[in-house]
Structure 1
Amino acid sequence: MIGKNIIESEPIPGAKVKEVLEEFSEDNELNYEQNVTLNHLARFKRFSLEDSEEILEKLQSEFNLRPKVAVHIVDLVPQDLADLRLIFAKEPGQVDKEEMEKILELLEQYDIIE
């Protein structure tokens, strides 16, 4: 695209995207892509925004996960080791089974919004 440069890129959880789109839609009409995104985010189970931010902080500080991986974990809400292994499949470093079990235990401490 001519004349457009990405200044900064940061992964954010779906709960934050949903909140931003809902606030924007109060005063403005959403375009097609924004509507599709908001419908997608409303369809799947998620953590609340506050819980998402808290989980992200813990995943990054306690488990030294990259922000992108931490956001994937929060957004996809893995239920078992198989789900979590898929998230870590393309990661350069290996995460051992004990650490993945601790991550699942951390996720179980929070309520999921349906």
Structure 2
Amino acid sequence: MIVKEVVNEELLTLAEVKEMLTQIMEERREESDEEQVYEFRKALNHAEIFSKLSANDAKELVSKLLEFEKMRPAVAVRITDILPQSRDELRSIYAKEKFTIKDDELDAILDVVRQYA
């Protein structure tokens, strides 16, 4: 059995994934006229439907969210992908975390998110 190792791992927002998949599709289209693989088309379609920001805006929002004290990179990416509009939506993102977040912290996060929504 061949075991492969992870060479590099990076968290990406859905907007960044969409941008990467679009670039790959264009490169492949230039190289040959072959149709894209089903899984690739489904992944690109999903990213196009559900990404709400441009890749640059998504990166900017993630960096602003990471300035908060109780913000982990994975949570910042999740918030950027979902763009929650209420405290309840934001609490559901934090549901698996081992700490609770106060209402004023939730409001501050929502204020940042609303700048991009």
TM-score (norm 1): 0.87
- Structure 1: state its 5+ residue gaps: none
Give identity over the alignment, percent: 38
> What's the CA shift for 1:44?
2.2
Secondary structure of 2:59's partner? Answer: helix
Query: Which structure would you say has the larger Rg?
Result: 2
Over aligned residue pairs, what C-alpha RMSD do you find? 1.7
1:22 corresponds to:
22
Distance, in Å, in 1 between the alignment partners of 2:51 and 2:20 is 18
Q: How many residues align?
A: 111
Distance 1:30 1:94, change over 3 A: farther
CA deviation digits over 1:34-84, x for unaligned, max 9? 211111111125122111111111111234411110000000111111111
CA deviation digits over 1:75-110, x for unaligned, max 9? 011111111111000011221111111111111112
Query: Runs (4+) of structure 1 moved beyond 6 Å?
Result: none
2:49 corresponds to:
43
Distance, in Å, in 1 between the alignment partners of 2:106 and 2:54 is 22
TM-score (norm 2): 0.85
Match among 65, 70, 74 for residue 76 of structure 2: 70
2:32 corresponds to:
none
